[in-house]
Amino acid sequence: MNLIKSTGTFSFFTVLSRISGYIRDILIAFFLGTGFIADAFFVAFRIPNTFRRLFSEGTFNAAFIPSYTSEQRLGKIKSEKFANQVFNILLIVLFLLVIIVELFAPFFVSLLAPGFIEDDQKIDLAIKLTRITFPFLLFVSLASFFAAILNSNNRFAAAAASPIILNLILIITLLISANIGDQLAYQLSYAVTISGIIQLLFLYIFVKKFFLLNLSFKINFNQKIKFFFRKLFPSIFAAGVTQINVLIGTIIASFQAGAVSYLYYADRIYQINLAIAGIAVGVVILPQLSKYIQSKNKEKINLIQNKSIELCLFLSLPASIALFLGSEEIVSALFGYGSFNDQSIINSSKALFYFAFGLPAFALIKIFSSFFFANNDTRTPFYISLISVALNVFISVYYFKEIGFIIIPIATSISSWFNMIILFLYLLNKNLFKFNQSFLFQFIKIIFASLVMGIFFHLMITEFSYYLDNDYSLKAIFILIFVFLSILFYLLVSFLIKAFKLSDIRAKY
């Protein structure tokens, strides 16, 4: 496996997905803004979309790939039998879950958005929209199963590209239905579920080469299946801890008007880098790392672990600095149009500023968790994540009345740094990871290149601030130009000081 090439492939389609997601969200911001209809839609969309992230962004892989890889070593018949049993159980469980949520949607929405309860109009709309969007969970989770099969065979492109389908369908819906007023939220909700069906069919086309689906309701709960499902829940919670923290933030934010929307837009921006620096690297290394751990190749294990952390920091640190320095300009340029007013820009940019503080931790959690998952250990990161989530809830609830919604990104970042540090110390203590001799020097070089890039980016947004004013119509183009030039400058500096080497592109791991 070529780490840079595979991560690049995954990242390329992920970036396309995030760009199309940005276009989707700027249209939603333009037509819905941050009012009660937007809040209701984002809650209805957040519920299945959070589950989608929990399943698809490396979390399902965490439990499935090590077990599936073990079966592959025993032959195609055994691996296919194992995979079919897992698929059929997932189909039954997810179908029952959808039925339960459809029947008890009022309770479910009240639980996840308790701040809506006092507003009959808002909670009624959120319940209706949730019932429309929730079947998306069934289809996209099964699509994630197909993605895990592809990733196990080092095929990353189709799995990374599939979320683009959701964005394209929502964009088309927004352009077609933009003038129908309050009904737009309903049309978007139907589009969400339809996109889940299309994603499932899309991935099945690619997975047929590696896996033949055999539907059956006769389930054999043998030891291997039991072991897999014992790992699944802890892995979903552990690898998806950032998304769980964001969901908890949504619950708490529902008590403040507009706060759900502010957090949503801020989340959309930093998630672009997290998808590349954390999710992409974590997904790519897991299959190969699992194989080397099973064959006890310590040299390769150490090499992959060090290079993955190095790549994660190389991608996340400069992004974090840029978001610190230009949070308001970035939010304004990307979303500050139409119904998204000055107050929305200020509040969303505050949230983004504090999320930026936690970005490197969000990404490193994905990497460190993959080290555990490759060793078939999902319980340790699960327990650590549980403590992290409890810390997040405590900080958020304790300070919410005093300082409002802004405590949510602060608490999320603090709890994530706690999570990351404990994972790291545990890995060192159990001898599951050690730094190689070159890591410290590379880390210093990455920090230097990131700081120099930060100075360059700051000069760009201050010297040309006129082009980023809230009222300037072409501000999105200029912020993208500034970001692109900053990336080129960062790569140039990194190349000159050898924080980035051309040999890494060709290296096999």
pLDDT at 427: 92
With b for 16 or more beta-carbon neighbours within 10 A and e for fewer, the 346-367 pattern comes to ebbbbbbbbbbbbbbbbbbbbb
452-467 pLDDT, tens digit each: 999 999 999 998 888 8
In this prediction, residues 92-112 reach a mean pLDDT of 87
Mean pLDDT value of segment 153-179:
83
Q: Does residue 1 carry a pLDDT above 60? A: no
**Top mean-pLDDT range of 10-24, 103-117, 229-243, 313-327:** 313-327
User: What does the domain layout of the chain look like in residue ranges?
Assistant: 3-506
pLDDT of residue 481: 92
The answer on pLDDT for 177 being more than 80 is no
Highest mean pLDDT among 58-62, 72-76, 343-347, 488-492: 488-492
Q: In this predicted structure, what is the pLDDT of residue 240?
A: 63
> Residues with Cβ < 8 Å from 382, sequence gap 6 or more?
233, 234, 235, 237, 238
Q: How far apart (Å, rounded) are the C-alpha atoms in residues 417 and 55?
A: 23
Taking alpha carbons only, the member of 336, 405, 340 closest to residue 34 is 340
Provide the b/e sequence for 23-54 (b: ≥16 CB within 10 Å): bbbbbbbbbbbbebbbbbbbbbbbbbbbbbbb
Looking at the predicted structure, is the pLDDT value of residue 14 above 80?
no
**pLDDT tens profile 334-346:** 887 776 778 888 8
pLDDT at 417 over 90: yes
What pLDDT sits at residue 18? Answer: 76
Distance (Å, whole) CA 18 – CA 20: 5
Q: Is the pLDDT assigned to residue 260 strictly greater than 80? A: no
Q: What is the DSSP letter of 166?
A: H
Q: Taking 70 as the threshold, does the pLDDT of residue 180 lie above it? A: no
pLDDT class of 33 with cuts at 50, 70, 90: low
Residue 59 has a pLDDT of 64
Residue 85 or residue 48, greater confidence: 85
Q: Report how far apart, in Å, the C-alpha atoms of 93 and of each of 50, 54, 58, 87, 158 are.
A: 17, 16, 20, 10, 25
Burial class (CB in 10 A: 0-12, 13-18, 19+), 19: middle
From residue 485, how far is each of 201, 275, 315, 453, 491 by CA, in Å? 39, 21, 15, 10, 10
How far apart (Å, rounded) are the C-alpha atoms in residues 2 and 41? 41
Residue given tokens 């394209």 in the structure block: 168
Rounded-to-integer distance, Cα 158 and Cα 206, Å: 7
- The three state secondary structure string of 380-399 is HHHHHHHHHHHHHHHHHHHH
Name the H helices within 134-280: 135-152, 157-161, 163-177, 184-207, 223-239, 241-253, 259-274
Report how far residue 261's alpha carbon sits from residue 256's, in angstroms, rounded to the nearest whole number. 10
Secondary structure of residue 221 in the 3-state scheme: coil
Tell me, what's the pLDDT at 202? 94
Q: What is the pLDDT of residue 283?
A: 74
Is the pLDDT confidence value at 181 over 60? no
- DSSP alpha helix (H) spans, 296-406: 298-335, 342-374, 379-403
Q: What is the length of the chain?
A: 509
Exposed e or buried b per residue across 227-253, where buried means at least 16 C-beta atoms within 10 angstroms of its C-beta: ebeebbebbbbbbbbbbbbbbbbbbbb
Contact 381, 239 (CB under 8 A): yes
Query: What was the pLDDT predicted at 44?
Result: 80
Q: Which amino acid does the sequence have at 182? A: D
Confidence (pLDDT) at 289: 82
pLDDT, the chain, mean: 83
Q: What is the mean pLDDT of residues 205-225?
A: 81
DSSP string, 422-468: HHHHHHHHTTS----TTHHHHHHHHHHHHHHHHHHHHHHHHHTGGGG
